[in-house]
Each structure stands twice: as structure tokens, then as C-alpha cells.
A and B are shown apart, each in its own frame.
Chain A
């Protein structure tokens, strides 16, 4: 960032923005009248936006690191659940259904990455954002011209990072401790992963927008997360669920995220249909969340 500003040439045309001209006040010139907006080239706007986005993301990352409880939770929780689950399903295989014969842990490891994404999107993010709103942090940002897209974009990017940590923890543990197959298509898993974080970040912002308080956001988020936990193949295997629970699962985003992760992981290729569904849910939810977003 440049510390010094160029003074405009006397009587010169406004150079880009009006700021330089405004400084005339300190150089003894008469303060200028407000100048009309000089619309910068779109790419310049995009660069400025990207800078703010990255700076917000960097600061949010540092804040997350300074609050170790959140980080430990997103890291330790999935590992803990995986250990418990491994104790239950250890060497069993799926009997029946589309994935008959698959080792259960080959299903659960990628599907738990989905669960991590869901927990960050439906619980951590809404609580974080609505706490910011309650305390007046969002007001402060808004008054200084932080755009909602930079704010939400930074939450998404931090979410990607946090989920990545959880995903790596689960994968490493699964592969080394439970002999889970190494992902066949890492690119395919990455597609499902990014689409999943996108969809659940948007859902998290939506919950934050709808919930009146941080406490309410936590309650609503946990409820959504719990329902999805049981009907998306992330607890009991899907084949053991009654038809109505499977139908409920398919109507919620986590099921689709799970399939988008499990399929490429196990060599079924990228499930374009499911990944597209996840991306579509993300897009629709983003538009809805942006329309309903409240700064205070």
C-alpha cells in the first residue's frame, strides 16, 4: 500500500478517483466540490475486490487461529467420531444397496468429510456471523464499505481451509489406521469438496440471516445438522433406513455432498449429477442468503 499520495497537478484533470484532489484542502487550495463518480474499469474493480477479499480472509484466518477452541473442535471432532465409528463398523462391508460389498470404512471416511463440511456450515458459520452481528462488528464493517460479497467470500474461503484441515485429519487416520482405500480420483473428491463447502457456507449464511440471535442460530444450525446426520448415510448405512428417511435425506444437501465425495473416492468417477445438485443448492442458497442478509 502506498503511503504517500500524489498531489494533483494544479488545475489538472481529476486523476482517477477524487481522493487526490480532495487533499487539496491540506495544501492550501480551496476544497473541491464533489466530483462525479469516475467509473473504473471492471477489471480494476475486480482487483480491488480481490484485495479486500484476501485481506478479510487473512484476518479471519488469524482470528480463527487465535481462538484455538474452534480450531480444535473442527480438527478433533471428526477424528473422534471416526474412531468411534471405526470401533463399530471396523471390518464390515455393505450388504445390499448400490454400494453392496464396499468396505464400510471406505464409505464412512469420505462421507465424514461431508459431515465436517456440514458442521462448519450449519453450526460454526451461523454462530460466528450472528455473533458478529449481535456485537456490532457487521455494522462497523458495513459503515466502512465492506461489501457483503467480500465478507461472505472470506467466510467461504476460511471455511474451505477449516474443512480441509478436518478432511485431511480424517483421511490420514482412515487410510493409515483403518486401511481405507486411497482416493481414486483426488480431483473428483476436490470437486465434491468445494461444491459442498460452497453449498453449506451459503446455508450457514442463510441460517445466520434468518436467526434473530446467535443463540437461535446455534439451535437452528444444530437441529439441521442432527437431522442430516441421521438421514444422509453418515450414521446408519442408507440401506438400513426406512424409505421415508432416505427420501428426507435426498431432499437435504448433505446426502448429495456425501455421494459427491464417496463416488470419486472409491473409483466410481466424478458423480456429475450429484456435484451439480450440490452446486445448484449452493447457488440458489447463496442468492437467497444474499437477499436476506442483515448487517444489524
Chain B
């Protein structure tokens, strides 16, 4: 048998639950417009906390792949073929790549899906220096970048590759480029969204004209200028 229950005079209820629900939904939907600005301030403050949880994405990076397996890198067998419409096609192995004049730069990496990583320290070689070695023919007006992640390819015009901070990066933040970031070498063109910054490079072909790259076939812009393409800033 249970004890008699005390009787409570029920205070008048207020229907605030629907307000909490709607307020949360509205705050969430409106954050599509203000979320990035707030996050850019918050992420700096949260960086030490983030560093304490190595499992979660560090520094704001997200890892995107398109193939069935992330390419792995073997320094003994890896090769970068650079050819096509060039007078002196060449094949670089990892050792030869590292022996080329090294440059360092700090730049911001923008993903077309909205996230950004600031102050990334890249080390590598200028693409312009590599092109000087292979000597493009007059018929070459664009470059095809081939990834070991088949079938990922993308293109830049020859003029775009001559921007001052375009590089083939084999170091990131002071360490050899990690596998998930495209080891051993990736293209870096900070003025363009990440999908043009081809990871796991194993081929560069000089070609007469740009063709449709991997993400461009799904409607992404051929010229992926940060803030001025793919629906941003237009």
C-alpha cells in the first residue's frame, strides 16, 4: 500500500515550451548567416581545448576524400611525373623533390563548404620553379594535376600557376605532409578553394587547355577564387 499523496496547488502554467523550441530553431537557422563570424572568434579561444582532444579535427581541418581508399605513400616507390606539352619532361622521386630549392609560406586555407584554417605553415617548392625545369611548350596553356586518389584531377591555367604563392607543399606546420592532407605532396593555391589544392599528387601534365576537373563536373566553378566563386560574393 502506498502512502497518501500530498496535494499540491498547481501554479498557473505558462506555455513557454513552444517558445523555447521555436527560439532554438530560429537561432539555429539564422546561424547560417552569422555562425561563421562567431565561430572565427570562438575557435581561437577553443584551440587549447581542442588540442587536448587529439581525436577531433585539429585546427579546424576537415578531411574529405572521394575514392575507395586514402592513398598511402612509400618514399621508395613514389614518383611525380611532370610532362605533357613540355620540352624537358621529368620524373621526380621523393629525394629529388626535397632537393629542389625550398620555400616556406604562411597562408589561409579555405574550403568551399565554409570552413577556414588560418596561418597554415607550408614548406615545399614553387610550382613556377618546377615549370622552369620542364620548360613548357608554346602549346601549353594549362596544367592538369593528377591525384593518386583516382579519379581526382583538377586544372589551373598556366597564368594561375604563376601566382606568387602557388606551391607544391611537402611540409605542413613543420612536419612532413600528413597522409590525410595529401602525403607526400599537394598543390597549394591559397587564392582558390580547397578542391583546387589537389592532394596526393603523382602527376602534372602540361596541356593545351583546361578541362573539367573532379568537382567541376558536379557544378563547382572552374576558377575557384575564394569569396568570388561558387555562389560566394556574387
Co-complex (A, B) = no
Interface residues of B, Cβ cutoff 8 Å to A: none
